[in-house]
Every structure is written in C-alpha cells, then in structure tokens.
Amino acid sequence: MRTSPDWARFESFISEIMAQEHVAGAAVGVSLRGQVIYARGFGEGSIETRRPVTEDTVFGIASVSKSFAALAVMQLVDDGLVDPLAPVVEYLPEFSLPRLGDVRAVRVHHCLSHTTGVPPLKRRQGEFSEFGRHIEYLSGYDTEMLGRPGEYLSYCNDTFMLSGAILERLTGRRFRDQVRERILEPLGMSRTTYELEQLASWDNVTGLYNLDSAKTELQAKQWPELGTYHVGGGIRSTVLDLLRYGDMYCALGHAPGGGRVVSEAGVLRMRAPVIPVTSGSHYCYALQLTPGYHGVTLVEHGGSLPGVASRWGYIPEEGVAAVVLTNVGGAPSDLIWTGLVNTWLGLAPESPRTEPEATYPASDDQLARLTGLYAADEGVRLRVCRSDDGTLRVEGEGLNRPLRVTAPDRAVYQMQRQEKPLRFHLPSDGRAPAWAVSTGLRMVRRAAE
C-alpha cells in the first residue's frame, strides 16, 4: 500500500470545487484489492430537507452503465453465444442503416466501442419500451454516416443499445434481469438497480439537480424513464456497490466470494484499445484507457444526465478502484476523480492530467477553416467564431469561451480548471473548411448557417 494518502488535502480540494461549481452533494470512495480504504459523502442529497450524503447514498451513474452492458456481452462471449467481430445482423437480422451500403460491415465490436460511423442521433428517451421499436427507429433514420465502421470514434447511444437487444434476443430474457442475476447479485450490489419502482422504495436516495441558465441556482429534476436507453444509462447505485464492481475488474473477473463473473480474457478484451480519444488515451469497450499516468494505467468511464455526473474506474496494476458520484448535471466528476486518484498516487489532488499544450501560430486562412456551425440531431450545437481581436471562440452547449489553437486541427478552451479539446476534421486539400469537429467523445458535422 502506498504511504498514507493525504485524504484531508483531498477533502479540502473537493469542498472547494463543490462550492465553486454549485455541487449540492457528492460521494467518493477508493478500494484496494477488495477492501474499502476511503469512502465519504459530502454535501446534501436533498437541498430541500438538508439530508446529508453518505457513502451509501444512491445516485444515478448514467453512462457508467455502459460497462455493465459490455460486461454482459463478454459473458455471452464466454458462453460461446457471441463473437464481437461478427456482424450485428447475424444476431438482429432486421437491423439496417439507410446510408450504409453493406450493413454487415457493422460489427458488435463497433457498437461497444462507438465506432459504427453513426453520428449522434435525436434521442427519443422513454419512447421505446421494446428493443424492436428502437431498432425500427434506428433502421429508418436517414442520416449521413460519419465514415466507414471503425474509421471514427463518435458516441452514439442508439447503436450502443443494440448490445442489449442482442442479449435479449439470444437469451430470451430481459436485459436488466440478466445484468441483475449475472452481475449485480454475484457481486453483492444490493443497492444498485435499473428499476424506478425499486428506487422509490429505498431510503437514502439523492435528489437530482441542474444549474439554471445563469449558473447560480439549482433546479430540481425528476428521475427519468429512459426506456430502451437504460442499456447505456439506466443504473442507479452507490459508491460502496461500485467499488465492489471495480474490485471484480481488478481481480480479473472474480467476485469477492471467489466465484467468477467473467473470464480473464473478457476483462482484458474490455480494456483493449480500439480507437484514440486523445493523445495517449484510447476508447475500448465502454471504457477509456490511459496508460503511463505516473507509472500506472487508468481504466475509467464517466456519465452525465440531468441531475447526474459520475466517474468510475480502476488501476489494474495496483488493484485500486475509485468512484465519484454527484447529484448535479454537468458537475466536474472527472476533475474530482482525477483528484481522488492523484491523492492515492501521492500527488497533489489538483495536479492536471496533462501538461498544457503549446499555442500554435495559426494564420488567418487556417483559422477560417475552423470557424462555422457544427450540429448533430442529438442536440449538440457548437459555433466556432472570430472575436473582435481575431482569436477564436466557441459558443453553445452552455459555452462562451475563448479558444486557444494548439495545432492546425486542434484548439482548447478552459472550463472547470481543465483544458477541454476540440479536434477538427480537415479535408486533405489544405484549403476547404473542417467538415466536422470532435468534442469529448462526440463527433459533430458542419451544419448550414
């Protein structure tokens, strides 16, 4: 074990961030080889009743749920029922994409790694209770592909949903029942659920909040009915339960009692790099992998929904799992999670993940190639424009920030103590404007003004 992590310094760090970013409540935890070594709640789970957060408070985890779906697919791989490199239509023959000539090019592998080439689609949350209707919606969605399957990374909840549909088709059982019986129960995750009815019967469940448009007051939100989107975002859980989940990965598939949840090969396949996210970091199967972070590997995923900002992950070399859950949409859970990991590693919690990039001396013509409107049907809408002083700005999605160009196809903006990158996709002719921009895990096309 590392020498005495300075948890008091971390607690000052998280308290300062929560005050600055108007985070009502948060819970954090770290485990080492199956033993909880630090877990604590901060702030309030309910600003109406002033109920404090504890390490056993139930929060939404949003897209951290995706790793559960990927794990369930790996269990089917262990059972000999699924080949990740097989076409999706081998399991769901009715699936198609209007703008893709050969639908067999879309593999299960692409769905799990968000590399299908399908852009972010209009989210019809809560409208589909059955996978058949959702597949029908996806198969009839006439939108231009970003590229060939496997060519680009772009987060798409609708194609990730297909993993749950495949599981139901092959087993004849509800996706969420399979996850409960084959993952949650073996790991003793008794405070984890997809079911809103069960959530309503529990005590110590957080409220959900979003900042208003002025970013000064918190507004209460309701737990959403996600429908089939629950595959990628429907789990509600606690820090203590999610540490048990992380412990299983650190133990290469073994549950705390010694039974096996998934094969070692399944764990390793989930964290095998598929496609770059940023320099030195790759997306895998519902996980992001960053090797060489102060001598260790970070395996992680975040989640965001109204009233939810979460981060979960583990350090395989050290057998360490770490979790951050908050009850305010857009809260910097990634920053807090990095602070938690930094504290474990003996670093200052505020230490940045990467060093600032050098400024690139872009010409006016190069800047002009980046400006314009970028939009996706899911609702993402970003405008890159010139300020009066000639520099770039990014507007939209709650942003109005100056951009600093760091390469001909890259710029960064400052937000929540971090530099956030925009990566522009430029045609090869050297003159035409960027046809898309990658922001976070989403790739968004240039749109008409």
Q: How confident is the model at residue 428 (pLDDT cuts 50, 70, 90)?
A: confident
Residue 383 and residue 267 share a domain: no
Flag whether 400 is in a domain.
yes
Mean pLDDT of the chain: 95
Average the pLDDT over 397-424 and give the result. 92
381: domain range? 364-446
SS3 125: coil
Q: What is the pLDDT of residue 1?
A: 55
Give the model's confidence band at 169: pLDDT under 50 very low, under 70 low, under 90 confident, else very high: very high
Residue that is last in its domain, among 322, 352, 382: 352
> Residue 80 belongs to a domain with what CATH number?
3.40.710.10
Percentage of residues in the chain with pLDDT exceeding 70? 100
357 occurs within a structural domain:
no
Question: Given pLDDT bands bounded at 50, 70 and 90, which one contains residue 256?
Answer: confident
Residues 337 and 438 in one domain: no
242 with 94, same domain?
yes
Q: What is the DSSP string of 342-404?
A: HHHHTS-TT--SSPPPPPP---HHHHHHH-EEEE-TTS-EEEEEE-TTS-EEEEETTEEEEEE
Domain boundary among 295, 327, 352: 352
What tens digit of pLDDT does each residue of 4-41 get? Answer: 899 999 999 999 999 999 999 999 999 999 999 999 99
> What percent of the chain stands above pLDDT 90?
90
Structure confidence at residue 258 (pLDDT): 81
Q: In the structure, what pLDDT confidence band is assigned to residue 278 with cuts at 50, 70 and 90? A: confident
Q: Between 429 and 226, whose confidence is greater?
A: 226
Residue 430 has pLDDT above 80, yes or no: no
Which run of H or E residues covers position 267? Answer: helix 264-270
Q: How many residues are recorded in the chain?
A: 449
| Same domain membership, residue 399 and residue 277 | no
pLDDT band at 399; cut points 50, 70, 90? confident
Residue 359 maps to a domain: no
Give the mean pLDDT of 218-238: 97
On whether residue 358 sits in a domain, the answer given is no
CATH number at residue 370: 2.40.128
Q: What is the pTM for the complete model shown?
A: 0.97
Looking at residue 448, what is its pLDDT?
87
Q: Do 425 and 287 have their domain in common?
A: no
- Residue-wise pLDDT for 175-217, tens only, equals 999 999 999 999 999 999 999 999 999 999 999 999 987 778 9
Q: What is the pLDDT of residue 257?
A: 80
Q: Domain check: are 338 and 405 in the same one?
A: no
When pLDDT is averaged across residues 335-339 and rounded to a whole number, the result is: 98
3-state class (DSSP) for residue 39: strand
Same domain, 270 and 326: yes
How far is residue 446 from each of residues 127, 150, 333, measured CA to CA in Å? 28, 21, 29
Contact 428, 440 (CB under 8 A): no
Strand intervals (E) in 159-244: 208-211, 218-221, 236-237
Please tell me what DSSP assigns to residue 234: -
Same domain, 193 and 320: yes
Q: How confident is the model at residue 300 (pLDDT cuts 50, 70, 90)?
A: very high
In this structure, are 21 and 153 located in the same domain?
yes
Residues facing 407 on adjacent strands: 410
- pLDDT at position 213, please? 76
Q: How many domains does the chain have?
A: 2
